[in-house]
Amino acid sequence: MEKINIKLPDGSIKEYQKGVTVLDVAKDISEGLARVVLGALVNGDVKGLQETIDEDADVRFVKFEDKEGKEIFWHTSAHIMALAVKRLFPDVKFAIGPAIDDGFYYDFDTEHRFTPEDLEMIEQEMEKIVKENHVLERFVVPRNDALEYFKNKQEAYKVELIEDLPEDEEISFYKLGEFTDLCAGPHLLNTKKVKAIKLLSIAGAYWRGDEKNKMLQRIYGISFEKKKDLEEYLNRLEEAKKRDHRKLGKELDLFSIHEEGPGFPFFHPKGMIIRNILEDFWKKEHVKRGYGEVKTPIILSEDLWHQSGHWDHYKENMYFTEIDEKGYAIKPMNCPGSILIYKSGLHSYRDLPLRWGELGLVHRHELSGALHGLMRVRSFTQDDAHIFCLPSQVKDELKQVIDLADYVYDIFGFKYHVELSTRPENSMGTDEQWEIATNGLREALVEKGIDYIVNEGDGAFYGPKIDFHLQDAIGRTWQCGTIQLDFQMPERFDLVYVDKDNEKKRPVMIHRTILGSIERFLGILIEHFAGKFPVWIAPVQAIVLPISDKFNDYAYEIKKEMEQKGLRVSVDDRAEKIGYKIREARLQRIPYMLVVGEKEVENRLVSVNKRDKGDIGQYSIEDFIGMILEEVENKTR
C-alpha cells in the first residue's frame, strides 16, 4: 500500500497509508484531539473528518472557533435544516444551502409561504434530528448517474447545477438520514455536536441571484456547540438592532435615503458636521505625511475605462451616459483620474514618490436587494490615495501606509486584523508581476510584525491587496482600509519616469484607502458608538438647559461664549420641566447637558450632567470650556 507523509503545524511529519481519513490522523495524534476537532485544512482545502487524504499534505486541524471549523459546522446545520423542512413539507424542492459568515441558509421552492411559526416548528424538528445522531455519509458517483438521480427526484435546481459541471467530473453526494444532497462538503462526522440552533429570518432570493429567475424562499439560521454561545450571539443581535445606523441616523437627524434616489444617501446638517470633521481630520493627517490633494472628474470618456481594464472586468457595476454623441462612464474608481494627472507632466526619479490623496465621489451599481443604509450604497466618497514610486521605495511606502491606518483606527478605538488577498481568476498581468506584487505586500506585513490571514483569489483584477478588518464595540468586523500594489495600470497607461541614467522606467502604483468610504465609515461609527459620539465628532457637543425662561439670557450667553471657542452648542429654552429636557438631550446622545438656574447665574457657573455619568458637579464657565476643549484636542473617546 502506498505511503504518504503528513506534515503537522509543529513541523513534525507522520507517515500513513494513502487514503487515510482525517479522523484517523486525529485519533493517531490523540483521542482527545479527535473528540474536539471538526475537520482539517489539508493543503489549503477544508476537509471533513470522514474525508480521505490521498497525497503528501500539510494538515492543520480546526475547531469551532476557527473560521474553517464554523464553515463545516454551519454547512452541516444547513443540511439538518433541509432534512427538517423535507419532513415537514414533503413537496419542497431544494436549491442551495451554504455556510455564510454568520451561520447558514437554504433556498427552498415551495407553494407554502413560510411563517415565523414554521421556523419554530422547523427548529424543533432540527433538534430531534440532532438527537437521532445521524452520520453524514459521503459518496461519489459519475455525472450521468447524478443527473439521473435528481431527474427521478424531480429536483430541477440540482439538475441544472450538475449540467453546468464538466462532463468527465465525478459528483459528490452527502446523505443525512433520508435527505441526500448534491454537495462538495465539507461536513461534520455526525449531527451530535449541533447542540444549539436558532432560525433567524425568512427572505426572498432569486435562483442564482438573477432577477429573471424564480423567486425562492431563503431561511437563515445560526447554530453553536453550546447553548450559552447561542445566547450570547442572540444578545449581540439585539444590541446590534439598537445600534442600527439606519434607525439612529433617523433619530439623530444625520441622514436619510429616499425612494427618489435608492442607494444615494442625503446628509442632513448634523450628519454633515460629522462628515466634515472626518474629512478635515483625514486631510490634516495626510498633509503631515507628505500627501498632496487632487480632485478628478466623476465623468470620463468610455475609452479611458477600456484602457484601464474596468470595461472588461467591472462594466456590470458601472453607469454610463452620452455627451456630444460619444460614450462616457461615471467613475466607479478614482485611479484612472490620478493616472491622467501623472501623465500630464514629465517625472524624474528625484520626484518620486508622489503621494496624491483624493476624497473622490464614485458610483457603482448595486442590486436593489443588496442596498443597506450607508453600508451598501450606489454613490460614495472613497478616501483614496495613489502613490507613484520607484520599485526600491515600495516597501517603505507600504509600511508608512500601514502606520497611518494603525494611527487612524486607534483614534476611534478599533482593533483590527489584516488579510492578504491574492490573484483572482479574472486578473490582468503576468505570473511574475503578481508574484513580485504579492511578495512585496507580504514582506511589508512581516517587517511590521503584523499577523495576517491569506484570502486566496480575492485580490483586485489589477493587483493583490491588504485589507484591514475593523472590530467594533460588539465584536463585529467591518472591512475598511485596503492597500493594493499595482504593476498593471502603469503598464496599460505607459507611465514612465526618467532614471539617473536618463532612461525611461516604469513606476509602481500603490492604491489605498484608510476609511474605505466616508459614508460606510460613518455608518460603522454610528453603530460602534451607538450614536454616542466622542466629544470631538459629536454634532452637538453640549446643550444648555435653563430651569425656567428667566434664565434664558444666561443660557444664550454661555452658548455664545462657547461658540466663540469653536464649540458646537445648542439651548433648549422650551417651557418644559428640567427632567424632561435632560431625558430629551440623552435621547439625542449629547455628551454634556449644562443645567442653569439662579445659583448658576449668580456665580457664573454651570451644573454639568455628563451623558453616561449623570451629575458631575458645578464648574465655572471657563473651567468647563477648558475641559471640553482638552477632550476635543486629545480626541478623547
User: 616-630, pLDDT tens digit by residue?
Assistant: 999 999 999 999 999
Instruction: Tell me the CATH number at 119.
Output: 3.30.980.10
State whether 55 and 75 are in the same domain. no
| Pairing mode of beta strands 452-455, 326-330 | unpaired
Per-residue model confidence as pLDDT tens digits over 175-189: 999 999 999 889 999
pLDDT at 460: 80
> Over pLDDT 70: what percentage of the chain?
100
State whether 499 and 619 are in the same domain. no
Cα atoms in the Cβ-side hemisphere of radius 13 Å centred on 142: 5
For residue 189, give the 3-state DSSP assignment. coil
Instruction: Tell me the CATH number at 556.
Output: 3.40.50.800
State whether 435 and 401 are in the same domain. yes
State whether 285 and 432 are in the same domain. yes
pLDDT at 440: 86
State whether 595 and 524 are in the same domain. no
Known catalytic residues? 335, 364, 382, 384, 386, 465, 511
In a domain, 237, yes or no: yes
pLDDT-derived band at 462 (thresholds 50, 70, 90) equals confident
State whether 276 and 176 are in the same domain. no
User: 10 Å Cβ neighbour count for 285?
Assistant: 16
Per-residue model confidence as pLDDT tens digits over 579-612: 999 999 999 999 999 999 999 999 999 999 999 9
Q: What is the mean pLDDT of residues 26-52?
A: 93
Within 158-317, strands assigned E span 170-176, 179-182, 196-206, 215-224, 255-256, 266-267, 292-293, 299-301
Length of the chain (residues): 637
Burial class, 323, CB count within 10 angstroms (exposed 0-12 / middle 13-18 / buried 19+): exposed
Q: What is the mean pLDDT of residues 408-433?
A: 88
Q: Which residue is it, cell 486584523?
A: 417
Q: What is the mean pLDDT of residues 2-12?
A: 91
Query: Does residue 115 register a pLDDT over 80?
Result: yes
Domain boundary among the residues 42, 63, 84 is at 63
Domain range for 606:
542-634
State whether 82 and 146 are in the same domain. yes
Query: What DSSP state is assigned to residue 353?
Result: P
User: 10 Å Cβ neighbour count for 176?
Assistant: 23
Q: 394-411 and 269-288 are packed helices; what angle lies between their axes, rounded to 10 degrees?
A: 140
State whether 59 and 74 are in the same domain. no
Q: How far apart are the first and last CA of the chain?
A: 64
Q: What is the mean pLDDT of residues 543-564?
A: 96
Q: What is the mean pLDDT of residues 187-213?
A: 92
Burial class, 436, CB count within 10 angstroms (exposed 0-12 / middle 13-18 / buried 19+): middle
Burial class, 60, CB count within 10 angstroms (exposed 0-12 / middle 13-18 / buried 19+): middle
In a domain, 178, yes or no: yes
pLDDT-derived band at 455 (thresholds 50, 70, 90) equals confident
pLDDT at 597: 96
State whether 380 and 460 are in the same domain. yes
Q: What is the mean pLDDT of residues 302-331?
A: 92
In a domain, 250, yes or no: no
In a domain, 505, yes or no: yes
State whether 385 and 455 are in the same domain. yes
Q: What is the pTM of this model?
A: 0.83
pLDDT at 458: 82
Instruction: Tell me the CATH number at 46.
Output: 3.10.20.30
State whether 494 and 370 are in the same domain. yes
Per-residue model confidence as pLDDT tens digits over 74-99: 999 999 999 999 999 999 999 999 99
Q: What is the mean pLDDT of residues 258-276?
A: 96
State whether 89 and 221 are in the same domain. yes
In a domain, 318, yes or no: no
Pairwise CA distance, residues 608 & 29, whole Å: 63
In a domain, 35, yes or no: yes
In a domain, 592, yes or no: yes
- Under 8 Å between Cβ of 496 and 484: no
More confident residue, 429 or 311: 311
pLDDT at 165: 85
Cα dihedral sign, 325-327-329-334: negative
In a domain, 335, yes or no: no
Give the chain's mean pLDDT.
Answer: 94
Domain boundary among the residues 528, 561, 585 is at 528
pLDDT-derived band at 485 (thresholds 50, 70, 90) equals confident
3-state helix, strand, coil in the chain (%, to 5): 40, 30, 30
Q: What total of structural domains would you count in the chain?
A: 4
